[in-house]
Amino acid sequence: MTTKQRLIKQVQDLADKDSRTYTEDDSIIEIKFIVGTDLTFKDVIVIVGTGGPHLEFRSDNQSINGYWGSESATCYYDDWREVHDYWEDYYNMLRRQ
């Protein structure tokens, strides 16, 4: 199996996972909030793997993306809105504190 094939399989496997993978799972490494100039929540990037490969959920393009060296793969994620809304609520809760 080539690097590209392994990457595609990993991205597809992540796209098949429950939304909790991107909200509550211990595999979350980093969360990046994308906010407007007025500090309102716009989108989120949830990183669930780094190194080989780098794997992330992106609500701005509703996808799971993987990068490994010069290779990349993308798979669209049907439950993106659920993850987006979860992190929007979380971000707003942090802002209120």
Report pLDDT digits (tens) over 18-67.
888 889 888 899 999 999 999 999 999 999 999 889 999 999 999 999 99
- Is a pLDDT exceeding 90 seen at residue 2? no
Give a three-class secondary structure readout of 4-60: HHHHHHHHHHHHCCCHHHHCCCCCCCEEEEEECCCCCEEEEEEEEECCCCEEEEECC
For residue 88, name the pLDDT band (cuts at 50, 70, 90).
very high
- pTM reported for the whole predicted model: 0.90
